[in-house]
Amino acid sequence: MGPQGAGKGTQAQRVSERLTLPIVATGDILREVARGDTEIGRQVKSIQAAGQLVSDDILAEVIHRRTSESDCTSGYILDGFPRTLPQARLLDSIARTQGHEIVVVSIKVPRELLYKRLTGRRTCTGCGAIYNIYSQPSVQENACDLCGKPLVMRPDDNEDAIAKRLALYDEKTQPIMNYYRESGRLHVVDGTGTPKAVFSRVISVL
């Protein structure tokens, strides 16, 4: 867990490689389910087409199905779930039926550094490579080192949009943080420094 810019994706990928565990990303699963000609697939597709959020019950069913597959037998890394307290309780139920324990790693980063990471982020319009004008700039200004295509700033990486996203994150996730803290499953990790340094802290928890 962690706010936008905390480095969750980077650390999830490193943990996945080190522990040979699949990353179960809610967004990817829902898109895949929506492409299928099944009852739940048609439900998800119509909900998404209407611009609405998938209900907790459907989300839990989708997560349960995916995490019951053979590659998740030894465990899995969740990305994008749970986002609410009811979802956290549903995950407890899923984990119990699978014989898994839940370990929550919260990556903590000072707000000023989050702003720097997000406002400095630039994405290649060609290959999708990500740079940062402050910490990981491209060699040639505004051009990708890999394919030479232009680099752009995401529309929601301006300061006003970031402030709103972080405020929403705080509002939505604080109850989940408290829930896991009270049950002794929350481990807060310092998210400053290099990705390698942060990974050593994350992996020591796991």
Catalytic site positions = 8, 83, 121, 154, 165
CB 107 within 8 A of CB 205: no
Which residue shows structure tokens 């979802």?
87
Helical packing angle, 8-19 and 195-205, nearest 10°:
60
| Single-letter amino acid, residue 161 | A
Query: From the CA atom positions of the chain, what is the Rg in Å?
Result: 18
**DSSP letter string, 64-106:** HHHHTSGGGTT--EEES---SHHHHHHHHHHHHHHT----EEE
Burial state string for 146-171 with b = 16 or more CB within 10 A and e = fewer than 16: eeeeebeeeeebeeeebeebbeebee
CA distance 106 to 188: 5
CA distance 33 to 184: 34
| Single-letter amino acid, residue 112 | E
